[in-house]
Amino acid sequence: MIARRNLLRLVGTAAGAAVLAPFLSRLGRADTPAYPRFVFFVEGNGFEPVTVLSPSTRAALDASMAMPVGTDRYWPRRYQHTAPIETSGDLDQAIALADLGPLAAKTAVLLGLSSKITGGGHTTYHGVLSSTRTSGRRPAGETIDAHLSRLPMLTGTAFDALRLGYASAFHYPGANLDFGTCALEAGVAVPLVRDPRHAFDMLFGVATDRPSFDRAGRILDFAREDVNRTLAAFPSSSPERVKLERYLASIEANLQSRMRLEAAVSSLPTLPPSPSATRTPEDIYTVLSAQAAHIATALQGGLTNVAVLGIGTGYDFDTFYGSDHRPRHDTCHQSETSPMLADYLHMQTRRQMAVMIELARQLEAIPERGATLLDHTVLVYIGDNGETHHASADEFPIVLMGGGALGLRTGNRSLVYPGLGEFSRGHRQVSNLWNTLGHLACEDLDAFGGERLGGGTRSAEGPLTELLG
């Protein structure tokens, strides 16, 4: 841990005190403030809705459709209902949710949401989190994690958002960053850190490798001094001066983030274990668990209020499971005629979902303002392209956990919205979910994404009112 005297030295200047005032005021209070946090789990190359279909929801859909769900992989395309179907009480009997236990009461499943603007396919890249279409691997807009992290009540942390991921060490050796999932704005992708060792160092190196942390800080100090000296040589109207001023602002922001990080990490009671230095091609669930532990600690310590965990997303959708290095995409193809492989894929979704459930358990164990940290955090599990490996973007199944103290109504419920045949009537889209999250953070997100009313792309504005208490 960082010595308390170092923390006091850090804030001994007026600048340091100003930067850290919001954090230190929270640190000094017996109860923490009520503000939202958001975590997005994004599964690559298909998240099949049958994995979160509870028995009661299946029965309700069978009663509403001309043909029952049965074993048809594409049953969501046959929706006929004209108003949301709601069932409750048996989420833990769905394939991927069998590990919920008592957390079923703080979980909801959404079915029927589309996002045609993203294009579907093998992956929508940045599209699922931005409700826009990536073209040529270039994002068309900011992703929801970037937007939420900029809201006034969520700023002031060391990291605006923590973006972590996983990609196969067998299929993608040595590739540590994924630029295909998140974006700060149109044309500006921001990476997921896929190696948990690098993520650990980024988050907690101030405590575990102080010399390196200080050395990086000195480099930034020198850079700031050099820029300030150079600025004196340029007139106020010079284009070069404008560039230097932007560079200086970036350096200052980095230094302020380092100050917040040092203060936050110094307050943590414990750090998560440092991940193993050895990565093997079979380590998917070890990596995911380590990345989720980083997120849990970061949320608890106030290092960030927004996080993303990508699971073989973006460019790296063809990840694999098992020691036989089975490519996911090929397995998805083969599973269309093999019930055994279909079950195999569904079990992998359950194991991935278990990582989110374990994170939820950790947050549920942390008290906050008469509730728990989970009650002030919304966990979202979504596929990055929709319902199958070659998705049409007609259906994006979603699992939500937590958020009760923010006004999110989960309650062991499934909600099935009308299909695309009810467009502009009862049908709703993924962008309506992003609007719902905005409402939990006191902002209307009608303008978020690329869909618009009147243009045949947006079914309806507003949040999913069925989720708001």
- State the pLDDT at residue 322: 67
- State the pLDDT at residue 281: 63
- State the pLDDT at residue 438: 96
423 three-state secondary structure: coil
Give tens-digit pLDDT for 404-422. Answer: 999 999 999 999 999 999 9
- State the pLDDT at residue 12: 39
- State the pLDDT at residue 247: 67
Burial of 341 by CB count in 10 Å (0-12 exposed, 13-18 middle, 19+ buried)?
middle
Q: Judge whether residue 235 has pLDDT over 90.
A: no
Q: Judge whether residue 320 has pLDDT over 90.
A: no
Q: How confident is the model at residue 19 (pLDDT cuts 50, 70, 90)?
A: very low
Rg (CA), the chain: 23
d(CA 323, CA 102): 33
Q: Which residues pair with 37 in a beta bridge?
A: 377
Average confidence (pLDDT) over 302-329: 83
Average confidence (pLDDT) over 99-103: 97
Query: Averaging pLDDT over each range in 53-62, 221-230, 327-336, 339-348, which range is the top one?
Result: 53-62
Average pLDDT, the chain: 87
- State the pLDDT at residue 417: 98
- State the pLDDT at residue 14: 41
Average confidence (pLDDT) over 40-62: 96
Q: How confident is the model at residue 454 (pLDDT cuts 50, 70, 90)?
A: confident
28 neighbors 297 (Cβ within 8 angstroms): no
Q: How confident is the model at residue 84 (pLDDT cuts 50, 70, 90)?
A: very high
Q: How confident is the model at residue 33 (pLDDT cuts 50, 70, 90)?
A: low
Give tens-digit pLDDT for 112-133. Answer: 999 999 999 989 999 999 999 9
Domains, the chain: 1-30+202-277 (no CATH), 35-195+279-448+459-467 (3.40.720)
pTM above 0.85, yes or no: yes
Average confidence (pLDDT) over 60-78: 94
326 neighbors 320 (Cβ within 8 angstroms): yes
- State the pLDDT at residue 375: 98
Give tens-digit pLDDT for 252-294. Answer: 777 777 787 888 787 787 888 888 777 666 688 889 999 999 9
Give tens-digit pLDDT for 137-186. Answer: 899 999 999 999 999 989 989 999 999 999 877 777 777 899 999 999 99
d(CA 72, CA 388): 12
> Would you mind telling me the total number of residues written for the chain in this entry?
469
Q: Give the DSSP per-residue string, 12-67.
A: TSHHHHHHHHHHHHHHTSSS-----EEEEEEESS---GGGG--HHHHHHHHHHSSS
Q: Judge whether residue 372 has pLDDT over 90.
A: yes
Q: Judge whether residue 352 has pLDDT over 70.
A: yes
Q: Give the DSSP per-residue string, 304-327.
A: -SEEEEEES-GGG---EETTTTEE
Nearest Cα to 77, choosing from 97, 49, 51? 49
User: Phi and psi (nearest 5°) for 146?
Assistant: -65, -40
- State the pLDDT at residue 244: 74
Give tens-digit pLDDT for 144-154. Answer: 999 999 999 89
Mind spelling out the 3-state secondary structure of 226-293?
HHHHHHCCCCCCCHHHHHHHHHHHHHHHHHHHHHHHHHHHHHCCCCCCCCCCCCCCCCHHHHHHHHHH
Question: Percent of the chain, pLDDT > 90?
Answer: 60
Q: How confident is the model at residue 9 (pLDDT cuts 50, 70, 90)?
A: very low
